[in-house]
């Protein structure tokens, strides 16, 4: 027995194992307790087990502590908007509906930035005593133009939709203040975006490409000599610095004009579209109105601007028949008349490059576009004063035939916004479709509120013109011949939609009716009036709507009368037929009321 036991002992124990305890079991069934009672290492075994348990306990506590900290540290991210830019704060903003999302931008359009301005080094002027130096402010618009006489208006007020903002010279009626006993109770503003870079596929970009392709193969002299070192480096679509200023200044102006109408206990809904220049215009505008903390006062609603989407602020994109408008032929006919001399001049100063009428017309557009981008342009003084008058008229022809009363879709494109203005005045949402309004947004008070005293919306030049057409402002429906300049005329685009244009629709409450002569109050009860102000000048409503009294000196109209007149505008627009009907493209001059003939 003793030998057998010794044999089993030696099987597992090394020769120097005296006093060690093995921590594993024998494959044959365990230790022989009878042989191990005399082993003197029993006490150390108890000490090692306690140490092991203590180590295990400490490790477990440490793991739990570490896991808890990791969990608590990551918890805020688990419920955050993973698509947002967190900045330095780990607390993410909650997800907002797409139509209130301003960053990142959706459907922004082209956003290329052009060459930065460097006027301090690159501007050109004559440093002579005979010429009075006029500092730029911020654009250099005081330049010598052949044929310009003392008292003539600046050529920068004759550049159509490419004109930097300036107040309109007027629409045929004097301005009157709000009389004692009356007050403005609501304002609805529709603003165009600010000055911008041209479209990617514009004719100025095409001209820039033609000149670049001819580089090294042509020579220019005289006033065209600068083209030897010139490059086309304008950006695409986004606001230029002047455009940002125009919208900020407009916000400041409107704050002075209407600031008391804002309820500081409310937050306005301000509407714009997804295009980058549209969103940025709205942001610069509200910063001007409220200050840099404008997010405490307003929420910007961003409506998708893309083909096929309903959007009253960009109504042409869901009106396919706008493509049928004959807006090119009258412009081409007029350009062929007024730019013949300029085209000859350009070719006489150029060897190795043939200037076409289209090239010279694009060069004329280059003047306002480079001016708002760089502060000045050497293309401006290449043309005479008469040629600038004619350029302005070419823009009038284009917009009249493409977006106003000489377009078959003129009324239809603007109908949605006309309906929205009327809906606000009548205090109801628009949950139906009869135009290109977004019924989802216009059907909810959260996105189409009815309790604001201030409404601010942002749109485009041609859409604003179509909106005026949809309202029925036929004082802008005059015939515009394509073969001669008619002199002063009502439909002058630089007066209607320059960069930063704004249409203010005021609702005025008087305690009694005001006499048409504005010399007294008449007997009667409270009366509300509507007052249209375009680029800081009154549009006389009686001129387009006889029911509003053509003899009224202030150009106002009783609100009830105006609302009654507007009831027939949807029928006149013929929205479905105008935008989607199967009718032929009509030549210029065949459409006279902003809708396809019956």
Same domain, 159 and 46: no
Minimal CA–CA distance to 518: which of 529, 507, 526? Answer: 529
Same domain, 143 and 215: yes
Same domain, 44 and 172: no
For residue 269, what is the enclosing H or E element? strand 268-273
| pLDDT tens for the 598 residues of the chain, in order | 433 333 333 333 333 333 322 222 333 333 333 333 333 343 444 445 555 556 566 666 566 655 555 444 443 333 333 333 333 443 444 466 665 666 556 656 677 777 777 566 677 666 554 556 677 778 888 888 999 988 899 999 999 999 999 999 999 999 999 999 999 999 999 999 999 999 999 999 999 999 999 988 999 999 999 999 999 999 999 999 999 999 999 999 999 999 999 999 999 999 999 999 999 999 999 999 999 999 999 999 999 999 889 999 999 999 999 999 999 999 999 999 999 999 999 999 999 999 999 999 999 999 999 999 999 999 999 999 999 999 999 999 999 999 999 999 999 999 999 999 999 999 999 988 789 999 999 999 999 999 999 999 999 999 999 999 999 999 999 999 999 999 999 999 999 999 999 999 999 999 999 999 999 999 999 999 999 999 999 999 999 999 999 999 999 999 999 999 999 999 999 999 999 999 999 999 999 999 999 8
pTM of the model: 0.81
* pLDDT for 10: 37
Please, what's the b/e burial string for 306-315 (b: 16 or more CB within 10 A of its CB; e: otherwise)? eeebbbbbbb
Nearest-angstrom CA–CA distance, 208 and 40? 101
Q: Which two tokens stand for residue 117?
A: 């301005």
Same domain, 195 and 64: no
SS3 category, 69: helix
- Domain annotation covers residue 421: yes
* pLDDT for 99: 56
- Domain annotation covers residue 32: no
- Domain annotation covers residue 107: no
Query: Angle at the Cα of 61 (from 56 to 66), degrees rounded to 5?
Result: 125
Minimal CA–CA distance to 430: which of 446, 411, 444? Answer: 444
Nearest-angstrom CA–CA distance, 199 and 473? 29
Q: Are 199 and 236 in contact (CB under 8 A)?
A: yes
Measured in residues, the chain has a length of 598
* pLDDT for 174: 95
CA R_g for the chain: 37
SS3 category, 425: helix
Residue 46 Cα to chain centre, angstroms: 80
Nearest-angstrom CA–CA distance, 17 and 10? 10
Q: At what angle do helices 385-403 and 461-471 cross, to 10 degrees?
A: 60
Same domain, 235 and 353: yes
Same domain, 124 and 73: no
What CATH number does the domain containing 149 carry?
Answer: 3.40.50.1240
Q: Where are the extended beta strands (E) located within 460-499?
A: none
First-last CA distance in the chain? 125
Residues 6+ apart with CB under 8 A from 377: 366, 367, 368, 369, 370, 371
**103-to-7, 62, 278, 296, 510 alpha-carbon distances in Å:** 82, 42, 14, 17, 43
Nearest-angstrom CA–CA distance, 534 and 199? 26
Q: At what angle do helices 410-426 and 559-566 cross, to 10 degrees?
A: 140
Pairing of strands 219-220, 350-351: antiparallel
- Domain annotation covers residue 219: yes
- Domain annotation covers residue 542: no
**409-to-310, 405, 459, 578 alpha-carbon distances in Å:** 16, 9, 17, 5
Same domain, 144 and 52: no
Nearest-angstrom CA–CA distance, 394 and 331? 5
* pLDDT for 18: 33
Helices (H), 13-155: 33-36, 42-78, 119-122
- Domain annotation covers residue 29: no
Cis omega before residue 496 (within 30°)?
Answer: no
- Domain annotation covers residue 171: yes
Q: Are 552 and 542 in contact (CB under 8 A)?
A: yes
Same domain, 66 and 204: no
Q: Which domain holds residue 474?
A: 119-180+188-499+563-580
Same domain, 45 and 151: no
Same domain, 68 and 124: no
Q: Which two tokens stand for residue 124?
A: 């050109």
- Domain annotation covers residue 588: no
Structural domain total, the chain: 2
Nearest-angstrom CA–CA distance, 187 and 454? 5
Same domain, 242 and 361: yes
Same domain, 233 and 284: yes
């Amino acid at each position: 027995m003793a030998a057998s036991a010794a044999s089993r002992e030696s099987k597992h124990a090394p020769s120097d194992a005296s006093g060690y305890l093995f921590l594993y079991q024998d494959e044959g069934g365990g230790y022989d307790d009878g042989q191990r009672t005399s082993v003197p290492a029993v006490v150390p075994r108890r000490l090692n087990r306690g140490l092991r348990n203590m180590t295990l306990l400490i490790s477990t506590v440490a793991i739990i502590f570490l896991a808890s900290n990791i969990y608590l540290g990551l918890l805020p991210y688990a419920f955050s908007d993973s698509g947002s830019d967190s900045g330095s704060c780990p607390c993410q903003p909650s997800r907002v509906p797409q139509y209130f999302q301003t960053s990142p931008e959706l459907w922004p359009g082209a956003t290329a930035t052009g060459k930065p301005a460097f006027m301090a080094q690159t501007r050109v002027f004559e440093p002579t005593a005979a010429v009075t130096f006029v500092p730029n402010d911020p654009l250099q618009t005081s330049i010598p133009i052949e044929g310009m006489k003392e008292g003539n208006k600046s050529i920068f007020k004759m550049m159509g939709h490419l004109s930097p903002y300036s107040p309109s010279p007027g629409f045929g009626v004097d301005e009157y203040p709000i009389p004692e006993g009356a007050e403005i109770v609501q304002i609805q503003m529709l603003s165009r975006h600010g000055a911008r870079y041209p479209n990617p596929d514009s004719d100025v970009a095409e001209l820039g490409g033609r000149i670049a392709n001819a580089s090294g193969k042509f020579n220019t002299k005289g006033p065209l000599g600068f083209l030897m070192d010139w490059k086309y480096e304008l950006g695409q679509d986004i606001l230029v610095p002047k455009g940002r200023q125009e919208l900020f200044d407009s916000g400041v102006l409107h704050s002075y004009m209407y600031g008391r109408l804002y309820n500081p206990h409310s937050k306005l809904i301000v509407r714009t579209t997804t295009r980058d220049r549209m969103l940025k215009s709205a942001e610069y505008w509200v910063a001007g109105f409220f200050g840099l903390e404008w997010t405490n006062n307003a929420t910007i609603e961003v409506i998708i601007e893309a083909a096929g989407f309903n959007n009253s602020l960009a109504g042409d994109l869901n009106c396919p028949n706008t493509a049928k408008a004959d807006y090119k032929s009258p412009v081409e006919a007029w350009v062929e008349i007024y730019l013949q001399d300029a085209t000859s001049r350009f070719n006489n100063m150029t060897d190795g490059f043939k200037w076409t009428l289209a090239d010279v017309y694009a060069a004329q557009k280059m003047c306002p576009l480079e001016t708002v981008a760089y502060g000045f342009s050497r293309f401006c003084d290449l043309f005479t004063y008469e040629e600038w008058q004619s350029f302005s008229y070419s823009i009038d022809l284009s917009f009249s035939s493409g977006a106003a009363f000489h377009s078959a879709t003129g009324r239809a494109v603007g109908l949605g916004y006309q309906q929205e203005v009327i809906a606000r005045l009548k205090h109801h949402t628009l949950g139906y479709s009869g135009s290109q309004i977004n019924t989802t947004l216009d059907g909810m008070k959260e996105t189409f509120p009815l309790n604001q005293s201030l409404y601010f919306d942002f749109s485009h030049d041609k859409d604003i013109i179509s909106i005026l057409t949809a309202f029925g402002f036929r004082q802008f429906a005059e015939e515009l011949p394509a073969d001669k300049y008619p002199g002063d005329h009502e439909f002058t685009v630089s007066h209607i939609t320059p960069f930063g244009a704004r249409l203010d629709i005021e609702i005025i409450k008087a305690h009694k009716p005001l006499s048409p002569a504005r010399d007294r109050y008449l007997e009667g009860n409270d009366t509300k009036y509507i007052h249209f102000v375009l680029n800081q000048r009154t549009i006389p409503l009686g001129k387009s709507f006889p029911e509003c009294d053509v003899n009224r000196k202030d150009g106002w109209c009783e609100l009830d009368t105006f609302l009654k007149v507007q009831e027939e505008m949807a029928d006149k627009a013929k929205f479905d037929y105008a935008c989607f009907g199967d009718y032929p493209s009509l030549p210029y001059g065949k459409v006279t009321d902003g809708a396809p003939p019956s």
